Amino acid sequence: MKRHINIVLFVVITAIIGSCSSDFLDEEKIVSPPINSYFTTEKGFNDLVNSNYTFTRTLFAGGNNFAPLVFFGTDLWTNGSDGTFIEFNAYNSGIQPANPVLWNLWSPFYQGIAACNAAISRAGAVEEMPESAVNQKVAESYFLRAWYYHILVMHFGGLPLVTEEVTDVVTTATRASEAEVYNQIVQDLLFAEQHLPDTQDEFGRVTRPAAQALLARVYLTLNQNDMAAEYAEKVINDYGFSLLDDYSRLWDVDNRVNSEVIWSIQFSQDERLNGSGNAYFLYFTPRYDLQPGMTRALENDRPWPRFVATRYYFDLLASNRENDSRFAKSWKTAWIANNESTLVGNMQIGDTAFIYVPWDIPDSEEAELEQKYGVFDINDLYDGENPTGSRELFPHMRKYKDPLRPSINSGVGTKNVIEIRLAEMYLIAAEAQMKEGNLPEAVDHINTIRHRAAWPGKEVDMEITEADLDIDFILDERALELGAERLRWADLKRTGKLIERVQLYNTLGRDNVEQKHLLRPIPSNMIDRLTNREEFEQNPGY
């Protein structure tokens, strides 16, 4: 009997060990907050709105995201030695729905829109905040949603318009018309304008003037010029923004907070905050490191020549360089020797090693200079309209220069990007007033910009008159002031000048560009995933 008792005990005890409480299979995830309750708190809701900003950075995360769309295929930029995504410059058959550049813009932006939608849909449920505070907060989400949609609509036309958080699996989509999308953008921005504060404690958050500035941009796109002018002038006049005296200070990394910034997209030297970083510093940098006396150095950036100015752009920049400081203040043309082992002639460390200049230096002068350092003038850099040879030699556009990166060869940049600045408001106001027929106001706005751009003492020489003013002038002025600030392709499209100017100045794309290129193809990854893909329209010609 004793033995039986032992067995029974053994079995009973082990069965108890093995028996499980009813919640044994329940799962508890403790490492992140439960979304449904967390976002109703003030802290949670603030976190949710913060997340809306993150996706703005995706434009700059690498060369495969946005840059080929806004630099290539314009009158200002052509391809450097790195031939990738050249199709957007050539307007050739490489612009396919499956092209990753399109998806890399579309996908993170719709994720950003969804994050904004989550904040907008959940704003009503926030418990710890008064309604006005909630509105002020969620107005940031409205602004950002409008900003995302605006960039998408400019490139793709009519879009699937999602304005609420999606909580179930959705496998269909339909495109709203361009007008419907713009209508939503304007409404969102009006809400943002109404509820956003004039200033924010935290630099980088959007404000009322930022909403108004974006409205000005949007109205200009919509050709509602009175509204564009009104909003641009509100920003100019109402908030104490002012143009920096020195154009070059706009691009200094130690001057990221300044009176001209209306809204800037934030990057950081703290890797934990910086995400994938801002890679644009790479793509405008020539192979300076191949010249005698030179090696890579942090202050000179890491070379990855992808975007080179067209001959037209350099000629424009150089033509008035005696009066206009903007070429000198946003381009680097001289490099200082920094590599003992490759010094030539009498060159010493610290001497000028070489210069790249986009104008002609007379041969006699060039020979004299070459006694001291390497000299590459426009005839060395350009063969007619095209960059010479392997397209690695050109002045360095330094708006994205980033000497605070962690190391020379790091591809993760840290530099803030000024997304909207005051000078653009003057240019919007000028263009809008011109289109409205208010030429004196337009000339005033232009001259404000050009005064600041002038070398000291040359202000008068920079002034223009009503006779100078037309849309081509405006576009040229925007090229001088805002070149490389990612607006060009949309500016040309908006003004109906894209095909004309590509045919005039872009040697690679001129034979191919056509009407269909005013819209990008909808990414195939978008369409392939739909269960109603037969109903979903691709843009014509793709």
Partner 1 sequence: MQKIDWFPDFLGNILNKNRTMKLSFLLLVCALLNVQANSFSQNTKIDLEVENETIQNVLEEIESKSNFTFFYRSGEINEGRTVSLKVRNKPISEILDLIFKGQYVSYSVVKNQIVLKRGGPPIKKIPVQEKISNDLLLDAKIVQQTVTGTIVDNQGIPIPGANVVEKNTTNGTAADFDGNYSLQISGPESILVFTSIGYASQEIPVGVSTTIDVVMREDSQALDEVVVVGYGTQKRRDVTGSVASVSTEDIADIPMTSIEGGIVGRIPGLDVVPSGAGPGASTQIQLRGQRSFTATNDPLIILDGSPYYGTLNDINPYDIESVDVLKDASSTAIYGARGANGVIIITTKRGATGAPRFIFESYGGPIMAYGTIPYANGPQYAEIAREAYRAIGDYPEGGTSAEFDEIIFDEIEIESLRQGGNGLNYQDLLYEHGFQQKHQLTVSGGSEKVKYNFSGSYFQQDGIIPGENFDRYSMRTNLDFTFSPIFSGGASILLNHSYNKRKSSAALFQAFQSSPLGKLYEDDGTPRFTATADGLLLNPLADYIYDSYRWDNKSWGAILNVFGEAKITPDLTYRLNLGTNFKLRTIKESAGFYSLARNLGTATAQVDNTVDNLLLYESILTYNKQFNEKHQLTVTAIQGVQTTRLETSDAGVSDLPYEESRYHNLGSATLVNSVGSNLIETNLLSYAGRIFYGYDSKYLLTLSLRADGASQFSPNHKWGYFPSAAFAYRISDEGFMKSTENWLDDLKLRLSYGVTGNQGISPYQTQGGADRSAYSWNESPGFGYYPTELENRNLKWETTAVYNFGVDFRLFGGRLSGSVDMYNTNTYDLLMFRKLPITSGYDQVLQNVGKTKNKGFELSLNSVNISTEEFSWRTDLTFFRNNTEIDELYNGKVDDIGNRWFIGEPIEVFYDFKKIGIWQQNESAEAASYGQEPGQIKVLDVDNDGAITDADRMVLGSPQPDFVSNITNTFNYKNFDLSFQTYIRWGGMSSIGPFAPFSKKRYNKLVFDYWTPTNPTNNYPRPNQLYEGSGLYGSTLTYRDASLISLRQISLGYRFPASLIEKTPLSGLRLYLSGENLAYWTKSEMRDFNMKPDLTGDVVDGTRTISSYPATRTVILGLNIQF
Residues 411-430 touching partner 1, rule: CB under 8 A, are: 416
Q: By CB under 8 A, which span of 17-25, 130-138, 186-194, 491-499 interacts with partner 1?
A: 17-25
Binding partner 1 (rule: CB under 8 A), the pick from 67, 138, 139, 173 is 173
Binding partner 1 (rule: CB under 8 A), the pick from 27, 245, 254, 534 is 27
Instruction: Based on the shown chain and the rule CB under 8 A, indicate whether residue 125 belongs to the binding site for partner 1.
Output: no
Least distance between partner 1 and beta carbon 497 (Å): 26
Binding partner 1 (rule: CB under 8 A), the pick from 40, 42, 50, 315 is 50
Least distance between partner 1 and beta carbon 331 (Å): 22
Instruction: Based on the shown chain and the rule CB under 8 A, indicate whether residue 172 belongs to the binding site for partner 1.
Output: yes
User: Residues 297-326: x/- map of binding to partner 1 (CB under 8 A)?
Assistant: -----x------------------------
Binding partner 1 (rule: CB under 8 A), the pick from 40, 42, 64, 111 is 111
Whichever of 305 and 395 has its CB closer to partner 1, that residue is 305
Whichever of 30 and 467 has its CB closer to partner 1, that residue is 30
C-beta separation of 244 from 182 below 8 A:
no
Q: By CB under 8 A, which span of 132-140, 215-223, 241-249, 523-531 interacts with partner 1?
A: 523-531
> 469: which 2 tokens?
């003013």
Angle at 532 between CA 531 and CA 537, to 5 degrees: 135
Q: 367: buried, middle or exposed (CB in 10 Å: 19+, 13-18, 0-12)? A: exposed
Whichever of 58 and 325 has its CB closer to partner 1, that residue is 58
Instruction: Based on the shown chain and the rule CB under 8 A, indicate whether residue 257 belongs to the binding site for partner 1.
Output: yes
Instruction: Based on the shown chain and the rule CB under 8 A, indicate whether residue 249 belongs to the binding site for partner 1.
Output: no
Instruction: Based on the shown chain and the rule CB under 8 A, indicate whether residue 2 belongs to the binding site for partner 1.
Output: no
Binding partner 1 (rule: CB under 8 A), the pick from 37, 124, 125, 170 is 170
CA distance 183 to 185: 5
Instruction: Based on the shown chain and the rule CB under 8 A, indicate whether residue 205 belongs to the binding site for partner 1.
Output: yes
C-beta separation of 242 from 422 below 8 A:
yes
Q: Which value, in Å, is the radius of gyration of the alpha carbons in the chain?
A: 28
Q: By CB under 8 A, which span of 318-326, 400-408, 452-460, 484-492 interacts with partner 1?
A: 400-408
Whichever of 113 and 492 has its CB closer to partner 1, that residue is 113
Distance of CA 357 to the CA centre of its chain: 27
Binding partner 1 (rule: CB under 8 A), the pick from 133, 227, 439, 530 is 530
Instruction: Based on the shown chain and the rule CB under 8 A, indicate whether residue 33 belongs to the binding site for partner 1.
Output: yes
Q: 43: buried, middle or exposed (CB in 10 Å: 19+, 13-18, 0-12)? A: exposed
3-class DSSP assignment, residue 77: strand
Instruction: Based on the shown chain and the rule CB under 8 A, indicate whether residue 12 belongs to the binding site for partner 1.
Output: no
Amino acid at 268: S
Least distance between partner 1 and beta carbon 494 (Å): 25
Instruction: Based on the shown chain and the rule CB under 8 A, indicate whether residue 11 belongs to the binding site for partner 1.
Output: yes
In the 8-state DSSP scheme, what is residue 287?
-
Tell me the CA distances in angstroms from 352 to 257, 333, 346, 378, one per residue in order.
32, 10, 11, 19
CA distance 501 to 478: 14
C-beta separation of 51 from 115 below 8 A:
yes
Inter-helix orientation angle 42-54/131-156, to 10°: 20
Angle at 451 between CA 449 and CA 456, to 5 degrees: 140
Whichever of 267 and 400 has its CB closer to partner 1, that residue is 267
CA distance 65 to 77: 17
Phi, psi for 512 (deg, rounded to 5): -105, -25
> 55: which 2 tokens?
């996706």
CA distance 474 to 431: 7
Residues numbered 443 to 472 that lie near partner 1 (CB under 8 A) are none
Instruction: Based on the shown chain and the rule CB under 8 A, indicate whether residue 93 belongs to the binding site for partner 1.
Output: yes
Whichever of 107 and 352 has its CB closer to partner 1, that residue is 107
Instruction: Based on the shown chain and the rule CB under 8 A, indicate whether residue 503 belongs to the binding site for partner 1.
Output: no
Tokens 């995400």 identify what position? 275
Least distance between partner 1 and beta carbon 299 (Å): 13
Binding partner 1 (rule: CB under 8 A), the pick from 127, 246, 271, 368 is 271
Instruction: Based on the shown chain and the rule CB under 8 A, indicate whether residue 504 belongs to the binding site for partner 1.
Output: no
Element (H, E) at 266: none
Binding partner 1 (rule: CB under 8 A), the pick from 62, 68, 157, 160 is 160
Instruction: Based on the shown chain and the rule CB under 8 A, indicate whether residue 327 belongs to the binding site for partner 1.
Output: no
Total residue length of the chain: 542
CA distance 539 to 542: 6
Instruction: Based on the shown chain and the rule CB under 8 A, indicate whether residue 540 belongs to the binding site for partner 1.
Output: no
Element (H, E) at 391: none
Whichever of 91 and 327 has its CB closer to partner 1, that residue is 91
C-beta separation of 115 from 157 below 8 A:
no
Instruction: Based on the shown chain and the rule CB under 8 A, indicate whether residue 342 belongs to the binding site for partner 1.
Output: yes
Instruction: Based on the shown chain and the rule CB under 8 A, indicate whether residue 1 belongs to the binding site for partner 1.
Output: no
CA distance 106 to 104: 6
Whichever of 265 and 328 has its CB closer to partner 1, that residue is 265
